[in-house]
Structure 1
Amino acid sequence: MLKARKRGAGLLAAALAGALTLALSGCGGSDGTTAGDGKTLRLWHYEGPDSAMGQAWAEAVREFEKTHPGVKVEFEEKGFEQIQKTAPMILNSGDAPDLMEYNKGNATAGLLSRQGLLTDLSSEASARGWDKKLSDSVETTSRYNADGVMGSGKWYGVPNYAEYTMAYYNKDLFEKHDVDVPTTFGELTDALAAFKAKGITPLDNAGAEYIAHQYVYQLALSEADRSWVDAYELYQGRTDFHDEAWTHAAETFADWVKKGYIAKNSSGTKAEDAGVAFISGKYPVLFSGSWWFGRFQSEIDTFDWGTFLWPGSDLTLGSGGNLWVVPKGAKNKELAYDFIDITMTKKIQNLLGNKGGVPVAADPSAITDPQSKTLIENFNTLSENDGLAFYPDWPVPGFYDVLVSETQKLITGSATTDQYLDALQKAYDAGAPKQ
């Protein structure tokens, strides 16, 4: 779902030029297609070249070509939005790649699996031990039932990194204005008020994309439990958008806008702009995902920064990362399986961890960067405590756009909290399975 890191496809191609050897695509595959040439792996992914994942996958390409003499990797420039919008059409044609990164969740990978466009990876997951390397909470997004609902059924994807949300904070601003790092929700609101009293908008935000409605979802999670999440994400019960959790979330978010903790003009801001604003030192806090971590490590050099988990909540947004999926029409599936295997090795997983990613199968003792150690330790704490609550746009197709547009109205004040929650309920009920 998360899009901040999926930018600059042209830059990605250039950065990987040394590792990704362009070749003619294969001409066949398995599962009913003609046999491939076995000499080419067509790979699509949209991770930024400087991100932890981009660097790890570039090394995986080098490792793959080293261990597969005569086989070349063909990388094609694709952006997140491009794949997101055109995947059903491309995968239903003869131009599908052999291996592709794709967004996880019911509305994305689940939908493609239900449409019969992805290869069942269950036997490979068992034979190659992928199922043993992933925790239960990370594995949830790998499996989809016949209705395309995650959490059970066949394996249609493999996440080889994980992600979760946290508060990134500017240590220098906190120290300069004598504001304590919060450990409870009450302390968080006190910190926001303290910054605003000194003329500083405390929360970095992007209303035109995912960041705004992730604030809302986190506020709801602060009042929720696992059964609430399962009802919302997995349809294991009824979701009522006027319940205590959602009402608290909408009212608190709207109140924060009214008090100036969140800028009204952020309704049109995109995630990239919010990230750049934090990098520039403008805001004390940005609540967003681990996908920013590596970039902040490499680009922030004018102030000290750190992270903390959302205070007062046992749950936060997070899951296994985006999935490696093998299209049903892939022509060289065995090569695709081999590449997935390489990205799951200790060598690549350790590299991912030291570059600021959240690996799923790394050797903890091999992670040497202190900030990265904290990042991974916090993830392990969440994962072990069943604290990953997925993302708000996952449950039904098209819900991401609804969340963006309706949360923008909450920021601008053009909708009341009741109208906001009514709109979410209507869209959710229209897309969710009838119970």
Structure 2
Amino acid sequence: MAHQRSKRLLAGVAVLALPLALAACGGDSGGGDDQATSGATTFTIWDYENDDSAMGQAWAKAIEIFETEHPDVKVVTEDQTFEQIQKNAKIFLTGDDVPDIMEYNKGNATAGQLASQGLITSLTDVATERGWDTTLPASIQTTAKYDEQGLMGSGDWYGVPNYGEFVGVYYNQDAFDQLGIAVPTTFEEFEASLKAFKDAGITPLATAGAEYPMGQLWYELVLHYGDRQLVDDYQLFANDVDFQGDAFTQATNKLDEWIKAGYIASDSAALTAEDMGVSFIGGTYPMMVSGSWWFGRLVEEVPFTWGQFLFPGNDLHPGSSGNLWVVPENAKAKDLAYDFIDITLRPEVQEVLGQAGGLPVAGDSSTITDEKTRELTENFENILGDDGLAYYPDWPVPGFYDVIVSELQSLINQSKSPTEVLDGLSTAYFEGKTDLTEG
């Protein structure tokens, strides 16, 4: 049967009584109980994906399968926006009018907070029963687990991702061919290509200092000089991080060197991610270091021959799972939610993701017919195979995104030295870490 899709506005939920949040903290976190799950005739899904996106298409396939297997259940999907759910989740999840399953962002400041406050259901037992703990690669599982403090990477499962994302290098093949520059496969060749373009009067790297791209370029360099232990220390607080240590110092010095050499435009401190993308699409810059989320747009808009490669010389790359499916603690049909999650990991749904460039986490790139989409997915599979996802530089503590943007803008403008930038990052990082772990 056709499912119902509607739009619910959550802007007014803030008028709910805030003390309700306290009532959720002692909730059952078993995840496998039968209370309020059997005999449900309605199953409600909240998500914020566009229907035409890879995820939207995959969810539609999952719903189709779900309806076939649960003919007596009415599926209701309610469109939200990322901002609505991000702002209001902690309030609306304390009530009884909650979805049975919900798309939510991963990380300490998002899913971790809901988990620590008892607002979403522990899925650990279900993950074992259904085999999700063996289906999903280790670095994907990291974003699904949160401890009692809501810190990512250990503890119980509180969400399940079924697609991924990563940062790599997009390049203008025509520009490379025009100057006879080979597409780089090593870090040394990458730097040589930067110099060759600059020597020809072309600024090689499209980036943006006013938003996330510059921070991700910096983090690529940190990962180039670092290792998995550094990622665990930085992202998961396994050990203290030394921002004046080798990896952070070498990376920040190298970025400073590239800025001084003119590999990055002097006005990029004020540019947004959209500015960066438009300039690459327009052919102004021959390379852009950014995420797989640009892929679909580049396919549609780029007028030249282009390609993609992983950041040369790196075993680790910025990236993660996509958003999580979480099950509210007050959901009335948890068993149906578990069935739906299971369906999203099946080959036929993962294949829909793959064909549309959605980076399936349990798919097979060999089934993808489009060459560029298959290349994108193979790059992601190579990262997963090497346990190479290293998450994003702003993830460790709330508010760190703005600090990274500001400090790297200062580096672009040459108003701060690399040492001063690292001091600024270190101060904010450790203050945020203290708030999370001791607050």
TM-score when normalising by structure 2 = 0.86
Q: Provide the rounded CA distance (Å) in 2 between the counterparts of 1:183 and 1:287.
A: 15
Which residue identity does 1:265 align to in structure 2? D
> Could you tell me which residue of structure 2 aligns to residue 8 of structure 1?
none
> Could you tell me which residue of structure 2 aligns to residue 315 of structure 1?
316
> Could you tell me which residue of structure 1 aligns to residue 238 of structure 2?
236
Q: 1:329 to 1:234 in 2, by over 3 A?
A: same
Which residue identity does 1:250 align to in structure 2? T
Shift of 1:35: 4.1
Q: Is 80-89 or 401-410 further displaced after alignment?
A: 80-89
Q: 1:176 to 1:51 in 2, by over 3 A?
A: farther
Deviations 1:251-305 (A, max 9, x none): 22233233322223322333233233333333211111222223323x1352121
> Could you tell me which residue of structure 2 aligns to residue 22 of structure 1?
6
> Could you tell me which residue of structure 1 aligns to residue 327 of structure 2?
326
2:172/2:306 contact within 8 Å kept = yes
Q: Percent identity?
A: 53
Q: 1:327 to 1:401 in 2, by over 3 A?
A: farther
Q: Secondary structure at the match of 1:335?
A: helix
> Could you tell me which residue of structure 2 aligns to residue 127 of structure 1?
129
Q: Provide the rounded CA distance (Å) in 2 between the counterparts of 1:47 and 1:281.
A: 30
> Could you tell me which residue of structure 1 aligns to residue 372 of structure 2?
371
Which residue identity does 1:236 align to in structure 2? A
Q: 1:19 to 1:168 in 2, by over 3 A?
A: farther
Q: Provide the rounded CA distance (Å) in 2 between the counterparts of 1:318 and 1:79.
A: 22
Which residue identity does 2:201 align to in structure 1? G
Shift of 1:133: 0.9
Shift of 1:168: 1.0
Q: Secondary structure at the match of 1:291?
A: helix
1:24/1:40 contact within 8 Å kept = no
> Could you tell me which residue of structure 1 aligns to residue 93 of structure 2?
91
2:433 paired with 1:419: no
Q: Is 188-197 or 275-284 further displaced after alignment?
A: 275-284
2:8/2:80 contact within 8 Å kept = no
Deviations 1:307-365 (A, max 9, x none): 11111222111222221111223333233222212211111101111111211112444
Shift of 1:19: 6.8
2:207/2:288 contact within 8 Å kept = yes
Q: Provide the rounded CA distance (Å) in 1 between the counterparts of 2:251 and 2:190.
A: 15
Q: Provide the rounded CA distance (Å) in 2 between the counterparts of 1:340 and 1:354.
A: 20
1:202/1:283 contact within 8 Å kept = yes
Picking from 99, 109, 112, the partner of 1:110 is: 112
Q: Provide the rounded CA distance (Å) in 2 between the counterparts of 1:72 and 1:183.
A: 52
Q: Provide the rounded CA distance (Å) in 2 between the counterparts of 1:49 and 1:254.
A: 42
Q: Is 404-413 or 340-349 further displaced after alignment?
A: 404-413
Q: Provide the rounded CA distance (Å) in 2 between the counterparts of 1:291 and 1:419.
A: 32
> Could you tell me which residue of structure 1 aligns to residue 150 of structure 2?
148
Q: Secondary structure at the match of 1:288?
A: strand
> Could you tell me which residue of structure 1 aligns to residue 15 of structure 2?
none
Shift of 1:234: 1.5
Shift of 1:154: 0.7
> Could you tell me which residue of structure 2 aligns to residue 409 of structure 1?
410
Which residue identity does 2:205 align to in structure 1? L
Larger radius of gyration: 2
Q: Provide the rounded CA distance (Å) in 2 between the counterparts of 1:307 and 1:19.
A: 38
Picking from 195, 211, 214, the partner of 1:212 is: 214
1:294/1:357 contact within 8 Å kept = no
1:183/1:311 contact within 8 Å kept = yes
2:8/2:78 contact within 8 Å kept = no
Q: Secondary structure at the match of 2:389?
A: coil
1:113/1:144 contact within 8 Å kept = yes
1:21/1:72 contact within 8 Å kept = no
Q: Is 233-242 or 101-110 further displaced after alignment?
A: 101-110
Q: 1:328 to 1:206 in 2, by over 3 A?
A: farther
Q: 1:71 to 1:343 in 2, by over 3 A?
A: same
> Could you tell me which residue of structure 2 aligns to residue 245 of structure 1?
247
2:165/2:293 contact within 8 Å kept = yes
Deviations 1:184-204 (A, max 9, x none): 222212211222233322212
Shift of 1:415: 2.8
1:161/1:320 contact within 8 Å kept = yes
Q: Provide the rounded CA distance (Å) in 1 between the counterparts of 2:157 and 2:72.
A: 30
Q: Secondary structure at the match of 2:177?
A: helix
Which residue identity does 1:244 align to in structure 2? D
Q: 1:357 to 1:326 in 2, by over 3 A?
A: same
Q: 1:73 to 1:170 in 2, by over 3 A?
A: farther
Q: Secondary structure at the match of 1:394?
A: coil
Which residue identity does 1:202 align to in structure 2? P
Picking from 147, 150, 164, the partner of 1:162 is: 164
Q: Provide the rounded CA distance (Å) in 1 between the counterparts of 2:281 and 2:72.
A: 43
> Could you tell me which residue of structure 2 aligns to residue 189 of structure 1?
191
1:97/1:327 contact within 8 Å kept = yes
2:3/2:76 contact within 8 Å kept = no
Gaps of 5+ in 2: 10-26
Q: Provide the rounded CA distance (Å) in 2 between the counterparts of 1:174 and 1:89.
A: 52
> Could you tell me which residue of structure 1 aligns to residue 17 of structure 2?
none
> Could you tell me which residue of structure 2 aligns to residue 383 of structure 1?
384
Picking from 251, 259, 263, the partner of 2:261 is: 259
Q: Provide the rounded CA distance (Å) in 2 between the counterparts of 1:278 and 1:78.
A: 31
Which residue identity does 1:292 align to in structure 2? W
Q: Provide the rounded CA distance (Å) in 2 between the counterparts of 1:266 and 1:337.
A: 46
Q: Provide the rounded CA distance (Å) in 2 between the counterparts of 1:338 and 1:174.
A: 49
Q: 1:41 to 1:199 in 2, by over 3 A?
A: farther
Q: Provide the rounded CA distance (Å) in 1 between the counterparts of 2:223 and 2:294.
A: 22
Q: Provide the rounded CA distance (Å) in 2 between the counterparts of 1:199 and 1:40.
A: 62
